[in-house]
Amino acid sequence: MFQGPELWTKIASDPTTRAYLEQADFMQMLREVQRNPSSLNMYLSDPRMMQVLGLMLNIKIQRPDASESSQSSPPPPRSQQQQDQPETKAREAEPEPESEPMEVTDEEKERKERKSSAQKEKEAGNAAYKKKDFDTAIQHYTKALELDDEDISYLTNRAAVYIEMGKYDECIKDCDKAVERGRELRADFKMISRALTRKGTALVKLAKTSKDYDIAIETFQKALTEHRNPDTLKRLNEAEKAKKDLEQQEYYDPKIADEEREKGNQLFKEQKYPDAVKHYTEALRRNPKDPRVYSNRAACYTKLGAMPEGLKDAEKCIELDPTFSKGYTRKGAIQFFMKEYDKAMETYQAGLKHDANNPELLDGVRRCIEQINKANRGDLSQEEIQERQNKAMQDPEIQNILTDPIMRQVLIDLQENPRASQEHLKNPGVMQKIQKLVSAGIVQMR
């Protein structure tokens, strides 16, 4: 209720609360409640705040002293009450005297005129900004500031123009002035946040080192404490990513990366896999574009039984160099170990497109065919079938096949209508899906 624009209108229009607007301590309390609604409890002991609260809730809140006095005095005799009633009703019927119009001083008139002129300058500045006439926009915003220094939007708007002009130092100065003046005026926290966001944007533009980005990131974080604006959050994330990229560039050293890779290779031969992983990881920090390191670290993860990490490294290896056979052998081996034979077969076959005579890839295909045929013949033990089924049900691809209405009908026909099933099997897409279900142990062909 303290956030809406009607707050000031209601306080100013009510004769019992109008005078509060001239009291600095009350205005400070009200601004604090607007900034942090939970702080209202701190000020409920102030009768002025209680009066405003009652006004906003459209209820009459009786002050404690009035309540006590009414309770302590005995009710008047019935005859007296009856005598008082006509007089009370008569008073209620009497129209309230019209309040005399408040006299506006010459100084107040001049102040309003200056504010009005400042707003016109701002509008002209906005129009020039949209036309990318930045010099003219600067002139209008500067004129608006000269006319009215109690509206920090003129500063934040001018700061935005300075960003477009590449004058980042001037932008930062205006933002600092806006924050300082905004604190003095107890301006809307959203305006303070806007000034800090634009300052952070300028700092990012000027950033050359990771420390420069630290200052920009801190500025965006301060802006978010004032108002959690999605644009500010986006700019913060971009600044953090830019800092990370810069740090990576500063750390980049292919020579040291090769040295770390060789250390990892030696430790791998000694079967010291955790230590080898550390050196491979450091090699990737020094040179994150070397597919060999991803392949070697994938092998380490496989030895350690960390299959998801190994699979991720193997896929990264293939992404960096699709012609590098080791990436496919690493990925296929992990999939085979996880008993995803159809997927391993696809991986090995993809590798053979780039290296048709690679013995590891050919052997991988052979081993996958053996396992798939074993399932086709129904040679799996009940334990193996259960294991494959449990694993397959966690596979999103298998889940999609089983929930596909067409495939569900195909599976019913395979069991109940052999003639119709023969037609289904002529469809290559359907046959491929059935083969996946067979490999997974979901379907058994007799």
- Express each pLDDT in 199-216 by its tens digit: 999 999 999 998 999 999
Window from 21-25, 167-171, 174-178, 423-427 with minimum mean pLDDT: 423-427
Give me the chain's average pLDDT, please: 84
Is the pLDDT at 4 greater than 70? The verdict is no
Is the pLDDT at 418 greater than 70? The verdict is no
DSSP of 375-429, one letter per residue? HHTT---HHHHHHHHHHHTT-HHHHHHHH-HHHHHHHHHHHH-HHHHHHHHTSHH
- Express each pLDDT in 124-169 by its tens digit: 999 999 999 999 999 999 999 999 999 999 999 999 999 999 999 9
Q: Please state the rounded mean pLDDT for residues 327-356.
A: 93
The whole-number pLDDT of residue 165 equals 96
List of residues 6+ apart from 289 with CB closer than 8 A: 320
Closest to 435 measured CA to CA, from 364, 362, 372: 372
The whole-number pLDDT of residue 11 equals 79
41 or 189, which is more confident: 189
371 or 73, which is more confident: 371
pLDDT band at 66 (very low <50, low <70, confident <90, very high): very low
Q: Is the pTM of this model over 0.75?
A: no
The whole-number pLDDT of residue 240 equals 95
The whole-number pLDDT of residue 220 equals 96
Rounded-to-integer distance, Cα 295 and Cα 276, Å = 13
170 or 389, which is more confident: 170
pLDDT band at 81 (very low <50, low <70, confident <90, very high): very low
- Give pairs for 428-435: CB < 8 Å, separation 24+: 430/406, 433/401, 433/404, 433/407, 434/410, 435/342, 435/372
Rounded-to-integer distance, Cα 439 and Cα 435, Å = 6
Window from 310-319, 386-395, 404-413 with minimum mean pLDDT: 386-395
- Write down how long the chain is: 446
* Buried residues in 81-115 as b, exposed as e (16+ CB within 10 A): eeeeeeeeeeeeeeeeeeeeeeeeeeeeeeeeebe
- Express each pLDDT in 38-47 by its tens digit: 777 777 788 8
The whole-number pLDDT of residue 445 equals 57
The whole-number pLDDT of residue 440 equals 65
The whole-number pLDDT of residue 77 equals 47
Rounded-to-integer distance, Cα 216 and Cα 286, Å = 26
pLDDT band at 443 (very low <50, low <70, confident <90, very high): low
* Buried residues in 16-26 as b, exposed as e (16+ CB within 10 A): ebeebeeeeeb
Q: Please state the rounded mean pLDDT for residues 185-192.
A: 92
The whole-number pLDDT of residue 82 equals 44
DSSP structure class, residue 356: T
Q: Please state the rounded mean pLDDT for residues 396-400.
A: 80
The whole-number pLDDT of residue 62 equals 54
The whole-number pLDDT of residue 27 equals 82
- Express each pLDDT in 13-50 by its tens digit: 788 888 887 788 888 888 888 877 777 777 778 888 88
Percentage, residues of the chain above pLDDT 90: 53
List of residues 6+ apart from 125 with CB closer than 8 A: 136, 137, 138, 139, 140, 141, 144, 154, 157, 158, 161
Closest to 317 measured CA to CA, from 328, 333, 306: 328
The whole-number pLDDT of residue 93 equals 43
The whole-number pLDDT of residue 56 equals 78
Is the pLDDT at 79 greater than 90? The verdict is no
What tokens were used for 442?
Answer: 């979901």
The whole-number pLDDT of residue 91 equals 43
Percentage, residues of the chain above pLDDT 70: 81
In the chain, the domains with their CATH numbers are: 1-65 (no CATH), 114-251 (1.25.40.10), 254-381 (1.25.40.10), 398-446 (1.10.260.100)
Closest to 124 measured CA to CA, from 154, 97, 164, 98: 154
Closest to 229 measured CA to CA, from 260, 253, 268, 200: 200
H or E element, residue 49: helix 47-57
Is the pLDDT at 408 greater than 60? The verdict is yes
Rounded-to-integer distance, Cα 439 and Cα 63, Å = 80
Rounded-to-integer distance, Cα 125 and Cα 119, Å = 10
R_g of the chain computed on alpha carbons: 38
Q: Tell me, what amino acid is at 118?
A: A
Is the pLDDT at 85 greater than 70? The verdict is no
Q: Please state the rounded mean pLDDT for residues 427-442.
A: 73
* Backbone dihedral angles phi then psi of residue 64, each to the nearest 5 degrees: -55, -40
Window from 146-150, 431-435, 436-440 with minimum mean pLDDT: 436-440
Closest to 345 measured CA to CA, from 323, 371, 306: 371
Asked if 446 and 408 touch (Cβ cutoff 8 Å), the reply is: no
Please name the residue ranges forming H helices in 227-324.
230-251, 254-269, 273-286, 291-303, 307-320
